[in-house]
A and B are shown apart, each in its own frame.
Chain A
Amino acid sequence: MSFVEVWHLIIGNPILNVLIVLSHVLFGQFGLAIIALTIIVRLVSWPLTRRQLKSTKAMQDMQPKLQELQKKYGKNKQKLQQEMMKLYKEAGVNPLGCLWPMLIQFPIWIALYQAIMSALATTPEHLLNLAHRLYSWEMVSQAIPLSSQFLGLDLGQTALQAGGRGLLLAIIVGGTMWVQQKMTTAPSVDPRQGATQRMMTLMMPLMFGFFTLMFPSGLALYWAVSNIIGIVTQYFVTGGWGYLKFRSPFGKY
């Protein structure tokens, strides 16, 4: 069995077929199926997300102590790193804890991208290839071929091809990603590290906004919904906007 066959068997085909069943159940609306699948993915990855959020909260609480260390050992980088690691260890915080949910979701993104492209079958080739990946469930048979229209968008087309609405989707993806990142990224006590962090916080949303223009709108819809769920979860679990500060026009934060 080749890697591709194993991939389809274990992750690709189940996601594809679940997506099609969801579409059938949700009034033939593929967009709703993507939203529902995103919620399911979020529920499945909830234990990891909770760990990440707890880690973020702990990092947030540690900020005053980290700033103290910065003041104390600011000139001795090595000592600062050692003390910071010691502090993390004492508090039981893994500074890389926030990365795991992202890494685990990565194969799901790929599978979902493939599932969206396969399920929408925008070309005759896709439609024919789809035949070999479907389960023999009645609901699947009755749902095929899917309608790609959702809220005036063709989910099989790239946002670039969709024009104004596609551009709006790209802004939503980029904007929600920026908000989510700002909520979870603790300001660094190291100025150089802080600069890199600020760059990454800006680069990631820009990059995903750009990807939204390049990839089928169905995938962008997944990103947007996933980000919004992330923001809402973050808000309620950590009890606020985290590191995202709103500057009021009256000069108060």
Chain B
Amino acid sequence: MKNAKIIFLIVISLSTLLLVSCIPGSAQPIGGWPGTTVHDNTIYVGSRDGRVVAINALSEEMQWSYHITEPSDGMGCGPAVVSAAITTPIVDGDFVYIGTYSGKVLALNTTARSQNPDLPEEPQDRYHEWETPIGTGARNNAIVADLVISGDVIYVSSSDGRVYSLRKDFGDQVKKSGILDEKHSKLWTSPVIEDDTLYVSTFDGHIYALSAETLELLEWSFKLEAGFASSPLICKDTDTMFLGSFDRHLYAVKIGSAVLEWRFPEEPAGNWFWASPVVNEGIVYAGCLDGTVYAIDAQTGEKLWEFESKDQRGKPSSIVSPPVLIGNLLIAANEAGNVYVIDPETGEGERIKNRENGNKSTINAQIRAPFCAHEGLVYIRAEDNCIYVVDIEKGEVSWDFSLAIEE
């Protein structure tokens, strides 16, 4: 009897522990990290609770918000969808476009919604809004990478491993590519368009060139042993693309060439080059998950300088968001919430202080989302679901806005 009781207790505690780590449908929420976009004094961003939010940058008030309805995952201990808006909103004309984790592309009329904030939270035909599902199935077509717009076409990388093109005005699917990554069957990097060609980097270490019109593979492709972690960045002057890999290197690949231009650094860096780099006047600025911003000669791949970002304990903190150039300054932010203003020539940088307590990080939350700069201000969505507007000239956070819904 005693034995049976002990076995019973073990079974009960085992199942309790397993179930505690797995509340049906709610384990490991997907928050995503949609970045910010500023257009006509309006900030557009996706919130952690699955809304597209438009904020008036002058009055610092919300103009409108749109809740994206997502299917529930139901039972199960797999990842549950919490946030719908995964990609950074893109504004083109009167519309804002966003991709969702449930595999939909959404076009919302910014003019109509700012004039009628109470418009229903579903696409309005009369304002030419639309919503288009990508691919088939509920899970394997998640849109993780940012959308790309060129002319009248939107290009979408899907987690089903394909690139899709949609008509910008009605959302109709125009073309779809073949599965570009057979091994992983997912594309989490954005395509880059150059002339009439689309370039896509994949987790299995390929760079593919596709016809922008037909999405058919073109002759040139490039292959690495390790997979690519970031979307490519193309320097138009030299027809070279720069992109980070999971082997802790940044690569420079000349379009059309089978030979690698250069690899940085010689020995692997401290972690992945996750964020896409930026390039300006022959210098590549790349943030690394080891917490360092590197400036690299775009031609030779030689290091010009490096800047190590820290957390409040003095330890390096990952740079997840791509650095941004604003005038003659480079802005970088790390996961610890520190924002830095760096001189692109010398690599000397200064941390923007927290306005309440100088010893704390610039923002009291993690920074992972891509941020944008506009007229001397940097707009950052932090992981506490707030937007922080940093005035670079004053060197301070000038205002913030909570995206959380007030109960």
Q: Do A and B come from one complex?
A: yes
Complex contact B14–A106 (CB within 8 A)? yes
A residues in contact with B248, CB < 8 Å = 136, 141
Residue-wise, chain B 5-45 has the 8 Å CB interface mask toward A (1 for contact) of: 01110110011011001101000101111000000000000
Chain A residue at minimal CB-CB distance from B73 = A161
Give A218 to B203 CA distance when docked, in angstroms. 21
Chain B residue at minimal CB-CB distance from A156 = B78
Complex contact A160–B184 (CB within 8 A)? no
A residues in contact with B184, CB < 8 Å = 145, 147-148
Residue-wise, chain A 109-135 has the 8 Å CB interface mask toward B (1 for contact) of: 010010001000011111110011000
Give A102 to B318 CA distance when docked, in angstroms. 39
B268 on the A face (CB < 8 A): yes
A residues in contact with B4, CB < 8 Å = 188, 193, 196-197, 200
Residue-wise, chain A 167-202 has the 8 Å CB interface mask toward B (1 for contact) of: 000000000000000000000101011001100100
A95 on the B face (CB < 8 A): yes
From residue B1, how far is it (CB to closest CB) to chain A in Å?
5
B residues in contact with A131, CB < 8 Å = 271-272, 274, 289, 318
Contacting A at CB under 8 A, from B261-284, are 268, 270-272, 274
Contact of B75 among A103, A149, A214 (CB under 8 A): A214
Consensus secondary structure, chain A interface: helix
B298 on the A face (CB < 8 A): no
From residue A80, how far is it (CB to closest CB) to chain B in Å?
10
Using C-beta atoms within 8 Å of the partner chain, give the interface range for chain A. Answer: 35 or more
Chain A residue at minimal CB-CB distance from B32 = A124
Residue-wise, chain A 87-121 has the 8 Å CB interface mask toward B (1 for contact) of: 00000000110010011001000100100010000
B188 on the A face (CB < 8 A): yes
From residue B21, how far is it (CB to closest CB) to chain A in Å?
8
Contact of A193 among B1, B11, B247 (CB under 8 A): B1
Contact of B78 among A141, A158, A193 (CB under 8 A): A158
The verdict on A123 contacting B30 (CB below 8 Å), with A197-B4, A215-B77 known, is yes
Complex contact B78–A157 (CB within 8 A)? yes
A209 on the B face (CB < 8 A): no
B225 on the A face (CB < 8 A): yes
Chain B residue at minimal CB-CB distance from A145 = B203
B residues in contact with A122, CB < 8 Å = 78-79
Contact of A158 among B31, B77, B144, B246 (CB under 8 A): B77
Give A215 to B32 CA distance when docked, in angstroms. 22
Give A11 to B246 CA distance when docked, in angstroms. 24
Give A103 to B318 CA distance when docked, in angstroms. 37
Chain A residue at minimal CB-CB distance from B205 = A142
Complex contact A196–B139 (CB within 8 A)? no
A232 on the B face (CB < 8 A): no
A207 on the B face (CB < 8 A): yes
A residues in contact with B117, CB < 8 Å = none
Complex contact B77–A216 (CB within 8 A)? yes
Give A158 to B246 CA distance when docked, in angstroms. 27
A5 on the B face (CB < 8 A): no
A204 on the B face (CB < 8 A): yes
Give A197 to B3 CA distance when docked, in angstroms. 9
B368 on the A face (CB < 8 A): yes
A residues in contact with B329, CB < 8 Å = none
Contact of B28 among A102, A117, A136 (CB under 8 A): A117
B residues in contact with A113, CB < 8 Å = 21
Give A124 to B368 CA distance when docked, in angstroms. 11
Contact of B10 among A103, A136, A147 (CB under 8 A): A103
B residues in contact with A132, CB < 8 Å = 271, 289, 318
Complex contact B30–A214 (CB within 8 A)? no
User: Can you list 26 A-B contacts (CB < 8 A)?
Assistant: A96-B3, A96-B6, A110-B17, A110-B21, A117-B28, A123-B28, A124-B86, A125-B30, A128-B368, A131-B271, A131-B289, A136-B270, A141-B247, A142-B225, A142-B246, A145-B184, A145-B227, A147-B183, A148-B184, A197-B4, A200-B8, A200-B11, A204-B11, A207-B11, A216-B77, A216-B78
- What 6 A-B pairs are tightest by C-beta distance, nearest first? A196-B4, A141-B247, A158-B76, A144-B246, A147-B183, A158-B78
